[in-house]
Structure formats: C-alpha cells, structure tokens
Amino acid sequence: MGILNVTPDSFSDGGAHRQVEDAVRVALQMEADGADIIDIGGESTRPYSDVVEAEQETSRVLPVIEQLAGRLTIPISIDTSKAEVAERALDAGAEIINDVTGLEGDPLMGELARQRSVGVCVMHMKGTPQTMQDDPCYEDVVAEIERYLVERLQACERIGIRRDRICLDPGIGFGKTHEHNLTLLRATRRFVELGSPLLIGHSRKGFIAKLIGDPLADRTAATLGVSLAVAAAGAQVIRVHDVKPTVDALKLFEASGGLN
C-alpha cells in the first residue's frame, strides 16, 4: 500500500503532494514501482494534528481520485474517518475505506461501507490524534489490541460487512509508546492468526528514529527492516511511503527464502 498524503502537515511528507498534478504523478509512479493499493489521505493524523473539516478534506482528495480512477489499474483507498468524505471518494472511484477510528468515529461509516460493499481497513487508536500520545498506558498492549480488533471484526460482520472485505490494523504509532510499537510488531504473527488480512503502517515513524538514534536521519532503510520482519510474520498489507525500495527488498527477500 503506497501512501499518498495530499496534506500540508502530515508528519513525513506533508506538503509534498499538494498540487493535483504532483499527486497524480507520484501515484502513477507508485503503481509502476509495484504498489498494489494507493492510499490517499487529506487530513493528517500525526500526534497533535489539527482537525480538518469534511469539505476541506474532500477538496484535497477528490480532484486526485477523480484523475487517478481512470488511469490506475490498482485499487484506491481513501484514508478518512468521515463518512461524508468517504462517500464522495467512493463516488469518484475509491474502493477501500481506511479508517483510523476503526469505523467508530462517524456513526454513518459502517453503514456506508456495508451499502457500498467496499473493503475496509479497521485500525486501533487509543484516543484521538490530538490526545493519543498523552501518556498511553496498557496492562497488556498485545492482548488489549487483539481484543479490540476481534470486537471490531465482529461488529462489522454484525452490520453486514463481509469478513473477506475487512482488513485489521493494530495502529502502530497511534496511542502507543516506542516500546508498545515494538511489542506489537513482534506480535505480528499473533494478529495474523485472527484470520483477516493484517495491515502494518510503520513507515518512517518516530519509534524508528528513536531506535536508530538520530531524529534527522533518513528512515528508508530502517523502515525496510521492519517491512521484511512483518512480511516474514505473515502481514499481508504493508503501508509505506517508499514503494520501490520496499517492492525490491521483498522480491529479493522472498527469492532468498525469507518468506518461506
């Protein structure tokens, strides 16, 4: 899953793709580089980010989706927690809703997903982007997030969203300390065993800078290290900014026995 943020303030690439033509060019290149999904977002969910109104968020993502829908051969995912934004994105050609609130932030989101028979990515987040890093605490981070994902999977099925359309995401960096993130990554196989596709979104995040000891260092190689580890543990969707290095690394990792 290639990340395409059309925002001014996302933590890593904010402002990089604000012009529609730039965003379209990057998305097409991601597909050429081997991406299987393009995930387009118009609101930053980094820690302490500002809330964006639905109309502004829509104005950012819709022109890009409209231009890409007839040119990409891979699915477009809309990264939003607002049903209004998701509906307009689906009308424009998106096929997946990627919701950091686990379809709980907007009471209309679940029904929209059911009615439109689209894929959904259901993520765990403790609190909101504005509060999630205010001393996040767990008694057992793996067990608690596993329980939450099972509950959300069952809730989606109860309202008529088919299991084969549901992807689960433990929410790396969303209301977790650096150690929580590492603990969750080491538990990837346990989340895979829940039986739904698992999405891991670790790309360029703060725990990586913490581990390599330099907040200003390029995080591509370190992100690749995590990508290979979670792929080996069975994660089916790896959400990254740098598609080509990831695809190349996975090809060679698989060819040399890493995914066996």
The reply to whether 205 belongs to the active site is yes
- Hunting for tokens 């409209």 — which residue is that? 66
Amino acid at residue number 10: S
- Exactly one of 60, 82, 88, 205 is catalytic; name it: 205
Residues listed for the chain: 260
Q: Strand 119-123 vs strand 166-169: parallel, antiparallel, or unpaired?
A: parallel
Can you tell me the distance from the alpha carbon of 257 to that of 248, in angstroms, rounded to the nearest whole number? 14
DSSP 8-state symbol, 77: E
The reply to whether 239 belongs to the active site is yes
- Exactly one of 126, 239, 244, 251 is catalytic; name it: 239
Q: Are 101 and 125 in contact (CB under 8 A)?
A: yes
Can you tell me the distance from the alpha carbon of 195 to that of 137, in angstroms, rounded to the nearest whole number? 27
Alpha helices by DSSP H, the chain: 20-33, 54-69, 83-92, 109-116, 141-158, 178-186, 188-192, 206-212, 220-232, 243-255
Can you tell me the distance from the alpha carbon of 51 to that of 81, in angstroms, rounded to the nearest whole number? 11
The three-state secondary structure class of 46 is coil
Smallest CA-to-CA distance from 113 within 161, 184, 149 is with 161
The three-state secondary structure class of 5 is strand
The residues that are catalytic are 205, 239
